[in-house]
Chain A
Amino acid sequence: MRRPVLVRRDRPVRGGQPLAFAVGLILALVVGAILLVAAGHEPLRVYQRMFEKSLGDPTAWSLTLNRAVPLGLAGLAVAVAGSMGLWNIGAEGQILAGAMGAAWVARIGGAWPGPMLLTGMLAGAIVGGGLLALVPAVARARIGVNEIITTLMLNEIALRLLQWLIHGPWKDPDSFNFPLTPMLPDQGHLPTLFERAHIGVLIAGAVILVFGVAASRTAWGYELRVAGSSADTARYAGISLKRKILTVLLLSGGVAGLAGGVELAGTADRITEGISNGFGYAGIIVAALALLRPSGVAAVALLFGAVQVGGQSIQIIGVPASVSTILQAFILFGAIGAGVFVRYSVRLVLTGVDASASEDGEAAA
């Protein structure tokens, strides 16, 4: 009997990852089309509308870019930790903490001039996100506590903290009892770039660029990769693992926090329960699809931003926005599936009795 076995290729197929990504996208569109037909919609019409409303004109592009900002920063946060072999699952909570940090600065600095207030808010966001990553970072660096679970738990803790604030101490007195904070002061909005896009797009782009250069062109980035691939090698090379783990997780938290601050000052204007909208979890998918590379993160974030903006636009024609959620997940599953064949080839091998029999046969021959 023959059975298929995955055999690692000597080197991955060239250009394989973009190809795997394309396969994921096609799979997602096919699955989405089946679901749409099953519910009595016309897939081509739905997809056309999604495309037009996310990439069809400058307004659409500006909305997509705004969406790509938190997705890209969250993706970068995950990628930075991932380059060292750490999983920051806590981007979702760190985004919330960042938004809370920025909102806190806006509360005390409501009368500050614009540049000072905005700088303070973004700094508050970075600190907020970093603070939420503090416990996982210290616990991982000092006593080796698994950061996957601690960061995951802190997502739920941050969400409760935010809910408590907007139901209680931070609730807008004029909100008719809705759980949300007051609007930001006028000078606390990020300036517009074009159409609906705000300068958060440039901030996110710059941060991703800086990390991209730092990861691939500096000794710091090199040490990260060494530490990520082998703890023993790192120790031998004199790299302090504890300090690296600590700084990387705090940085990762800070970057995710910045996403929350930019989302607040650029798009949301006030904190509601849904301010993060799952950006942190989507960011993990973005980072995975980008193979933890900053340049890839920017590209994938743009695509996911388009899918999300497109997903919102089809609600008007009676299609649930959950279609876009399903598409995002299937892009990943499709790309993972195809990505396996970038690194592995399938061989049919003989199994069991047949295998030993044929070996004997070869020996005899």
Chain B
Amino acid sequence: MTEASMIGLLVATVSFGALLYLAALGELISEKAGVLNLGVEGMMAMGAVSAFMAAHQTGNPWIGLVAGVAGGALAGLLHGWFTVVLGAEQVVSGLSLTILGLGFSAYMGKNVVGLPPGAVLKPVDWGPLTDIPWAGPVLFGQAPFVYLAVLAGFATWFLLWRTGIGLALRAAGDSASTADAAGHSVVGLRLGAVVAGGGLAGASGAYLTLSLTPQWTEGITAGRGWIAVALVIFGAWRPGRAAVGALLFGGLLALKTRLQTFGVDFSPILLSMLPYVLTITVLIAISIRARNRPSPAPAALGTAYRREER
């Protein structure tokens, strides 16, 4: 294993980690407000295709990013409208959103499949920092999305645990009637969280088509949305722990294509099972521990709230 290939692995670990982290943060915010959204995969696909098409049309990658976020947020709004406003079953609506997002993105993007990108988001120029051995390429040679993900992680933590809105939002996810009684609009809080979550999933999708693999193909999300859902649980609904998990799962994604180069005789397909196996293990561990201490999961997660029926 050469030094160059090792650095390559770390660079890919950080960029895949950021990709997963963006989408996972969105899901985390949504779940903290009490709304399970299994539509991440679909929202990512919507973000990916919107970003690619906008960048393709305008030649401006930043407009692409905005379009990607908007595409994801709009998809999130659909889930929010049905689950929060109309009180539909969250599991069913979320899975339908995944199906819809995958189908809709395929339909929208059918004329740009395989085309060269109109614009890509190039790595940020950090000047001399990029020349530092190891840390230079790994930390300072990355696309803007990586720094966006770090920023989003801190912002999410600050918003949820250091502001009044965050407190109200977490209350909406733990005990909606309490949040309501305290004078907060549960519908508004939850809707906002789901839309914000969709925007972050859209940003993650935009990362795919504007930087990581800058082109559009049907099914480009390749199940990463499910890993994002897993990450929220793996990270016990905390942005910091989810970041650690994102690097771990990102590392596994990065390792998958490099096993052979490293001379390891193990099936990359079986390796890619690991995130899901780990998540099930963590979930079981959480449940066993929950006998003695409260579960980290939002108490009202997955349940609709109607004031008239509390």
Contact = CB atoms under 8 A, between A and B. Distances in A.
B226 A156 contact: yes
B283 A161 contact: no
Nearest to B105: A322
Contacts of A154: 276, 280
Interface stretch (A109-117, A191-199, A229-237, A277-285): A277-285
Interface residues of A, number: 51
A143 B272 contact: no
Interface of chain B: mostly helix, strand, loop or mixed: helix
Interface string B73-113: 00000100010001111011101111110111011001000
Contacts of A322: 102-104, 106-107, 110, 218
Contact of A145 (B283, B302, B308): B283
Interface residues of B, number: 49
B35 interface: no
A241 B110 CA distance: 50
A36 B306 CA distance: 38
Contacts of A324: 103
B38 interface: yes
Interface string A79-122: 00000000101000000000000000000000000000000000
B310 to A, nearest CB: 12
Nearest to A332: B96
B211 interface: no
B96 A144 contact: no
B103 A7 contact: no
* Residue of A135, A145, A328 contacting most chain B CB atoms (<10 Å): A145
B270 A160 contact: yes
Interface string B251-277: 000000000000000010110110011
A288 interface: yes
B279 interface: yes
Nearest to B79: A333
A336 B276 contact: no
B273 A161 contact: yes
A160 B273 contact: yes
Contacts of B89: 288, 336
Contacts of A157: 273, 276-277
A180 to B, nearest CB: 15
A332 B284 contact: no
B126 to A, nearest CB: 36
Contact of A143 (B91, B230, B284, B302): B284
Given A282-B99, A326-B103, A336-B86, A152 B226 contact: yes
A125 B307 CA distance: 46
Nearest to A160: B273
B94 to A, nearest CB: 10
B103 A325 contact: yes
B276 A148 contact: no
22 contacts: A87-B91, A144-B290, A148-B91, A149-B229, A149-B279, A149-B280, A150-B280, A153-B226, A153-B277, A154-B280, A156-B273, A159-B223, A160-B272, A167-B269, A278-B99, A281-B98, A284-B95, A288-B89, A322-B110, A322-B218, A336-B89, A337-B86
Given A6-B308, A153-B276, 19 more contacts: A8-B309, A35-B107, A39-B107, A89-B91, A139-B283, A143-B288, A148-B36, A149-B230, A157-B273, A160-B269, A163-B269, A281-B98, A284-B95, A320-B107, A322-B103, A330-B100, A332-B92, A333-B93, A340-B86
Interface of A: 5-8, 35, 39, 87, 89, 135, 139, 143-146, 148-150, 152-157, 159-161, 163-164, 167-168, 278, 281-282, 284-285, 288, 320, 322-326, 328-330, 332-333, 336-337, 339-340
- Counting from the closest, the 9 A-B pairs by CB-CB distance are A325-B103, A329-B100, A322-B106, A153-B276, A288-B92, A322-B103, A145-B287, A164-B269, A322-B107
